[in-house]
Amino acid sequence: MARVCDICGKGGIKARSIVRRGKAKRKGGVGRKVTGITLRTQKPNLKQVKALVDGSPKRIKVCTNCLKSGRVERAI
């Protein structure tokens, strides 16, 4: 199963991690230089909860944003 929220469809995105070296100009250096750019993924904060889906309890993956906003009716 994918890492996607079953309620809102929020999934992972790709981001860049930038590595720099050197001393900033305002601190007396010659400036910061980029030495490497790496692709990384930012994953959503998903929780597996038991919720009511069409009147019956079912285990689904839900992001914490949907849990806090009350979009999910949790089952006991």
pLDDT tens, per residue, the chain with 76 residues: 589 999 999 999 999 999 999 999 999 999 999 999 999 999 999 999 999 999 999 999 999 999 999 999 999 8
Q: What is the pTM of this model?
A: 0.73
Comparing CA positions, the residue from 74, 72, 76 lying closest to residue 6 is 72
The pLDDT, as a whole number, for residue 26 is: 97
The pLDDT, as a whole number, for residue 38 is: 97
Distances in whole angstroms, Cα of residue 59 to Cα of each of 23, 49, 55: 51, 6, 13
Alpha helices by DSSP H, listed for the chain, are 64-69
Burial class of residue 61, CB neighbours in 10 A (0-12, 13-18, 19+): middle
